[in-house]
């Protein structure tokens, strides 16, 4: 995929995440790794007005190489891409159920085996820090050291993937898990799957080729 195609794919993904209701307005942002840095959504621009030239090209260290102002969250996009060379895209949204849990600083425990799709036994929630800050970036990098998704306290969620389709698929899956967990909490405190069981699920997902593609078989 060349640079222009990637820019168009980012815009399509932004429109899709609002259409699927895992985001609203311009609150989310997306980045994709490319040669020499990353492409990221611009600051505060309505998705339906975006043109390919509006997508900002940043160096690995966050310097603007082409375009205007990048998303206010450029710091954690750059930091995670640097820390996770195995990943090629990031999706950040204010998905409603993820955000409800994040407001209560609740991680998503192993209430469903699909939690393993995010790379571990749970989907962690970072401590709170103001949006766009170095502190928030540091929290996110720590949370995603051995996970592919996390919640951010009083903020929203992040999903990363080998490519943009994989990151988008995981973001949708994490919001579904958050909705299921929220619903289960209305009945009572749900039981969670054991670490041993989650290890089995993780291994089965690897065997079935789930990781990085955003889909699995049953």
* Catalytic residue IDs: 73
The neighbour count for residue 192, using CB atoms within 10 Å, is 15
Q: Are 147 and 170 in contact (CB under 8 A)?
A: no
Q: Sheet containing 89-93: give its strands across.
A: 64-66, 56-58, 37-40, 29-34, 89-93, 156-161, 149-152, 125-126
The phi, psi pair for 139, rounded to 5°, reads -60, -45
Alpha-carbon span 83 to 99, nearest angstrom? 25
Alpha-carbon span 49 to 27, nearest angstrom? 15
């Amino acid at each position: 995929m060349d640079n222009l195609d990637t820019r168009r794919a980012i815009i399509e993904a932004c429109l899709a995440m609002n259409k699927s209701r895992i985001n609203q307005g311009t609150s989310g942002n997306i980045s994709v790794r490319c040669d020499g840095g990353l492409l990221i959504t611009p600051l505060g621009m309505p998705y339906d007005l975006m043109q390919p030239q509006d997508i900002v090209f940043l160096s690995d260290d966050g310097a603007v190489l082409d375009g205007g102002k990048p998303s206010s969250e450029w710091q954690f996009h750059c930091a995670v891409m640097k820390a996770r060379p195995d990943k090629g895209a990031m999706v950040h949204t204010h998905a409603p159920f993820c955000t409800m849990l994040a407001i209560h600083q609740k991680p998503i425990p192993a209430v469903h085996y699909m939690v393993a799709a995010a790379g571990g036994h749970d989907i962690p929630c970072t401590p709170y820090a103001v949006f766009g800050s170095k502190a928030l970036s540091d929290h996110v990098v720590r949370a995603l050291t051995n996970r592919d998704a996390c919640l951010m306290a009083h903020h929203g969620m992040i999903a990363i993937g080998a490519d943009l389709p994989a990151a988008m698929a995981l973001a949708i899956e994490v919001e579904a898990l958050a909705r299921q967990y929220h619903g289960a909490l209305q009945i009572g405190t749900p039981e969670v799957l054991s670490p041993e069981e989650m290890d089995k699920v993780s291994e089965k997902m690897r065997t079935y080729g789930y990781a990085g593609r955003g889909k699995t078989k049953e």
